[in-house]
Structure 1
Amino acid sequence: MARTTPHDPPQPDGRPLYWRVASLLLDELHDGTIPPGERLPGERHLARHFAVSRETVRQALEVLRRGGAVATDRRGSHATLPGAPVEDPASLTFPVGARPADPWAVDRATVAWEAPPPEHATALRLAPRRPTLVHRYRSATPDGRSLRTAVTSFSAVALAEVAELGRYRDRADGATPAQLRRAYDWMRRAGLTLHHRDSITQLGDTSAVRVTRRVHDQYARPLEITELVVDAEQDALVYEFTLPAAG
């Protein structure tokens, strides 16, 4: 049976200290301080945050794991409670060209583990036909006059450095919904400084344009490439990008 360490003071209500820490941490998961899918801070940070020993933090995390509130893999523990992530008002949505929340638009986004388009593989320095995480986005208005489609491929670096992206590999079946709107925030939280290069080209004699975004980090390592196609005659495309690394 789990027990607290001698470094932790006894509790007046008679319950082990790790139960109180588990309750406090669960409150932070419920109120969105740690959004669903986000990595939890490390044990050392949590020990300082709650003024307890690291052993007590481990015991509290075990309580939450048994209750299904957190899960742990080789990259650490992350929140698994259902619910929408808390949005940072200053964050940039993903992918490039994604609409703000629109109750009238029909959006669909999925991920697949597959070989990316050849030009994506070259940009991401992937071997030919090597699979990676590929994200597809489609947004259409009910009248069909405004259609946006985007295909994004992530590099091996992005999947290794950003735990939130790496966890999608096992469920990337091409059908499961996957709104990765906070992908750039996740990259920043992983300590990556994001640099982007966007190019816009017209598609033949049509009103449609293609926006190609390439993102790399402070070490010039490619992170992702997105190709968005949008009807410029019927729709307006506005985007910004200024995101230094977090912390």
Structure 2
Amino acid sequence: MARTIPHDRSLTQVQPLYWRIAAELLGELRDGTVPPGERLPGERQLAEHFGVSRETVRQALEVLRRSGAVATDRRGSHATLPGLAVETATSPTFPVGARSAGPGAADRATVAWETPPPEHAEALGLAPHRRTLVHRYESTDADGAGRRTAVTSFSAVALAEVAELARYRDRTDATGSAQLRRAYDWMRKAGLTLHHRDAITRLPGASTVRVTRRVHDQHARPLEVTDLVVDAQQDALVYEFTLPAAG
């Protein structure tokens, strides 16, 4: 019988550090941060993410392997928990404008707990200089063209209602990788009906387009604001998404 991790028991100083890291990583696997079948970040990246040594990460992964939550082969470690795979996610990918990286393309996403841009703070109803969770995304093609940058700020409501987002508050340093592409699924799982409003404008004197997305819930409470800037080499930017009704 596969062993399970008693991650809900109180964590004490007697408990090994690697056991706590295993519990935290298991939580991320369960909430879909790393979807089933997808490779986990390398040991060095995980060590930076959790602020521990690579040896501690190695021990934590061994605990998860014994419990059946992680499998390792020649390609590395990957999640084996049942759940929705990336291709079957029911909501649009976060952030707006995010795309699958092609051969040679470069994508980077980070989070930080900081003061958001003033226009974001106003739209989210945040007091001046109040910090919140801020997500940054950057993508370029293999030849350096097609650059996309997005800055997202989350509201106090989103952090209070969505446990998967709140988890990042104490683990943000603006340097570690942070893929929140299932953020909209997490919001809907928390019982929030999402209303998206996207405004698309071409920036004067430049071949770039800005997309500003505002998302609020069924109670008209703001959840997030995203500003996406796209290096558009064409005359028109076509943006299409489908938001299914909450079942």
How does the TM-score come out when normalised to structure 1? 0.66
| 8 Å Cα contact 1:113/1:133 also seen in 2 | yes
Rounded to whole Å, the distance in 2 between the matches of 1:115 and 1:89 is 31
**Amino acid aligned to 1:155:** S
What displacement does 1:68 show? Answer: 5.5
**Amino acid aligned to 1:115:** T
Aligned residues: 183
SS of 1:174's partner is: coil
Rounded to whole Å, the distance in 1 between the matches of 2:126 and 2:193 is 21
What displacement does 1:91 show? Answer: 3.1
1:175-190 matched pairs, under 5 angstroms? 175-190=175-190
Rounded to whole Å, the distance in 2 between the matches of 1:115 and 1:172 is 13
| 8 Å Cα contact 1:157/1:222 also seen in 2 | yes
Q: In the alignment, which residue of structure 1 is the partner of 2:244?
A: 243
Query: Structure 2 stretches of 5 or more lacking a match?
Result: 6-26, 33-59, 71-76
**Amino acid aligned to 1:240:** F
Rounded to whole Å, the distance in 2 between the matches of 1:223 and 1:89 is 20
SS of 1:176's partner is: coil
Rounded to whole Å, the distance in 1 between the matches of 2:141 and 2:201 is 23
Q: Does 1:36 align with 2:29?
A: yes
Q: In the alignment, which residue of structure 2 is the partner of 1:138?
A: 138
Rounded to whole Å, the distance in 1 between the matches of 2:209 and 2:229 is 6
**Amino acid aligned to 2:241:** E
Rounded to whole Å, the distance in 2 between the matches of 1:220 and 1:171 is 29
| 8 Å Cα contact 2:103/2:142 also seen in 1 | no
1:100–1:159 CA distance, 2 compared to 1 (3 A)? same
RMSD value over aligned CA atoms?
2.8
How does the TM-score come out when normalised to structure 2? 0.66
Query: Structure 1 stretches of 5 or more lacking a match?
Result: 1-18, 24-33, 40-64, 70-79
Find the structure with the greater CA-based Rg: 1
| 8 Å Cα contact 1:194/1:243 also seen in 2 | no
Rounded to whole Å, the distance in 2 between the matches of 1:176 and 1:187 is 23
